[in-house]
Amino acid sequence: MKSPLDLLDRPAPTAPADHLTLRRGAARVLLDNWTGTSTVPSRTLYPHQWSWDSAFIAIGLRHLSARRAQRELESLLAGQWADGRVPHIVFNPALPHDAYFPSPDFWQSSRAGRTAGAPPSPETSGIVQPPVHALAAWLVHRADPAESRRRGFLARLRPRLAAWHDYLLTRRDLGGGGLAAVVHPWEPGMDNSPCWDRALERVEPTPPGAFRRADLDHGHPADRPTDLDYGRYVRLATDYREAGYDDRGLTHRFAVEDPCFNALLVVSELALAAIARELGTNGEPHTARAARLTRRMVTRLWDEDAGLFRARDLHTDTLVDERGVSGLVPLVVPGLPTDVVRHLCTTLDGPHFDAPATRLVPSYDLTGHAFDPTRYWRGPAWFNTAWLIQRGLRTHGLQEGAARLRDGFLAEAGHSGFAEYVDPSTGAARGTRQFSWTAALTLDLLCADPKEPMP
């Protein structure tokens, strides 16, 4: 593997000087956050390995070192459970337990998750995050197919990725409608979105004095979820742990079909089809499953009057009456009906999500009753969702909109010091700085061929 200095100084394609500076800065973030086996999202706030973070990080790392990008995904999947789930955190055993909460001794994966197939090591969490991993694996392969084939990268990952998708579409089809459900607000990755508020009202919070939040040691309280939200998160995770992480053995007080989560499952099924073809086997079963998932997502989650997808609360079997960025991410699905794409684009450019000061996409409706420009997923603009939406615009041939979003992304990533997220109205950096997926996806937008075919 190349040395860090070699990776940093690797020649870049001809580009404007400011883009070359931005590229070097993004590479520096990834090198500084590399642990030797994986990349932490942040050295301070998030010191372990996170699931969908690592997928986005690998997508960017492929432009520095395809081998290191492969290692990122391999390291994450080493924590996969026998039932197929990919846990949302793989813990670094070298760190003290109080470096992050909930810590390994809270999740107790090797004990509480034994029946569900948790590995004896490494210790992990028991919940999951959005399934973007197969897409990441396919893009990493394409960055250096010869090295990928030499190492048998796809051949080794394919059964793990297939088992991950099978878990989601069997154990997590809690609504019986053929979509994957999430059972904790951390699982869709948009932790404290107002889209979850009504469902969380059913959850009796764990008292604040019963746990200590390590996130407030490194993040400003105005940026982070409230103590009330955190108490509910802890209660849900505790109940799941005490049920042995058995998806069918617990009446989940929070059970939601999320559009972003399922859209990424569609795209990753298409990536699995491409992986199968690369390995000389039939990709049609994955293509067919992606088509079924797309139809089910439109049937169960599309709201034509609102012009976007909505989450479905499985307790009430109704769509959640909130507009979140999760409802726009399905643009990344290539098989959407034309009228759905048209409505999504109208919504994207309309008053609920158009933030001209940054050209990014707020995480929640700008006109919504719960909009907060600084607090985590209740309004700030995130870089990973911008990357997904611009990819979706490209998927549907909407190059002008994709270019505008790309330009806004690169400008704000540079101005903010690769922030975790930004105020959509001012561009002010919020959350932690030197954030890995912001840097990684900056690299991807700077280096990837905009005509790169989708899976």
Residues with catalytic annotation? 191, 420
Under 8 Å CB-to-CB from 326, ≥6 apart: which residues? Answer: 188, 190, 193, 195, 258, 259, 260, 261, 309, 311
C-alpha angle 427-354-373 in degrees, rounded to nearest 5? 45
Strand arrangement of the beta sheet that strand 421-422 belongs to: 381-382, 421-422, 429-430
Whether the ω angle into residue 334 lies within 30 degrees of 0, i.e. cis, is: no
C-alpha angle 138-142-144 in degrees, rounded to nearest 5? 130
SS3 state at 87: strand
Whole-number Cα distances in Å, 80 to 90, 115, 261, 415: 9, 14, 18, 37
Describe the crossing of helices 153-170 and 66-77 by its angle, rounded to 10 degrees.
Answer: 40
User: Which single residue is written with the structure tokens 């997923």?
Assistant: 377
Give the H/E segment covering residue 313: strand 312-313
Give the H/E segment covering residue 381: strand 381-382
Cβ proximity of 331 and 341 under 8 Å: yes
Radius of gyration of the chain (CA): 20
The partner residues of 421 in beta bridges, in order of sequence, read: 382, 430
End-to-end C-alpha distance for the chain, whole angstroms: 28
